[in-house]
Amino acid sequence: MKLNRRHLLGAMVAGGAGLVATRSLAATLCGEMPALLPHALAALELNAGRIAQRDRIGIVNFSAHSRLPRFQLIDLQGGQVLKTMLVAHGSGSDPGATGWTERFSNRAGSNASSKGVFVTGQTYVGKHGRSRKLIGLEPQNEAAERRAIVIHGADYVSQGLALEQGRIGRSQGCFAVSRAEIGDLLEMLGEGRMLYAWKG
């Protein structure tokens, strides 16, 4: 979905957005931007008091099939998409392994993805290597930290797999990206930034 300045400004006004970063984005916006961007900007403004860093945000569009790059990292100050990558959803969200996200859950043991607004936490080294914690800011994802829903790299996320089997693998609810992308993503979407995940 192409968003010109007028459309974006309208979305920002409707969402009550008043951040310097979003004004900068509107002033410099060009080309293709994520369809969920107006919703993400409104969510960023709504949660401004709980999100310390508002220069960059991550957007995951769970309406798209898993074979498509549906995780976008946005530079709000520069008004551009910095990175677009594949991201897995949970097996509990796609029990038939179709590649489509069908359902969401906030329940421990569901192995499902959660949607909504998250703030990024600290990095740590776990069973998937270097990863980043996530804290859910809404009732539909507030258990994310207790469920250990994080951003991590995984061998089951790659362009090769997407081409070979028509979809990538599934996580246990985490936002898993390719091993090749995880290092850059962890650095660029550092602690205290928003990750917005949604299915329209």
pLDDT category at 199 given cuts 50, 70, 90 is very high
Do residues 54 and 76 make contact, with C-beta atoms less than 8 angstroms apart? Answer: yes
6 has a pLDDT exceeding 50: no
- Domain 53-198 listed as CATH 1.20.1090.10: no
pLDDT for 191: 98
Find all residues with CB under 8 Å of 49, minimum gap 6, and list them: none
Both tokens of residue 187? Answer: 């650095």
pLDDT for 85: 98
Question: Cα–Cα distance between 96 and 84 in angstroms, integer?
Answer: 26
35 has a pLDDT exceeding 50: yes
Do residues 28 and 78 make contact, with C-beta atoms less than 8 angstroms apart? Answer: yes
Q: What is the enclosing helix (H) or strand (E) of 129?
A: strand 129-136
The Cα-based distances of 155 to 138, 152, 169 in angstroms read: 30, 10, 9
User: Around 159, how many Cα atoms within 13 Å sit in the side-chain half-sphere?
Assistant: 5
13 has a pLDDT exceeding 70: no
Question: Cα–Cα distance between 168 and 62 in angstroms, integer?
Answer: 13
- Mean pLDDT of the chain, nearest integer: 88
Q: Rounded to an integer, what is the distance from CA 85 to the centroid of its chain?
A: 10
User: Where do the structural domains in the chain lie, given as residue ranges?
Assistant: 53-198
Q: In what order do the strands lie in the sheet with 194-198?
A: 80-85, 71-75, 56-61, 194-198, 116-126, 129-136, 150-154, 175-178
pLDDT category at 140 given cuts 50, 70, 90 is very high
pLDDT for 32: 64
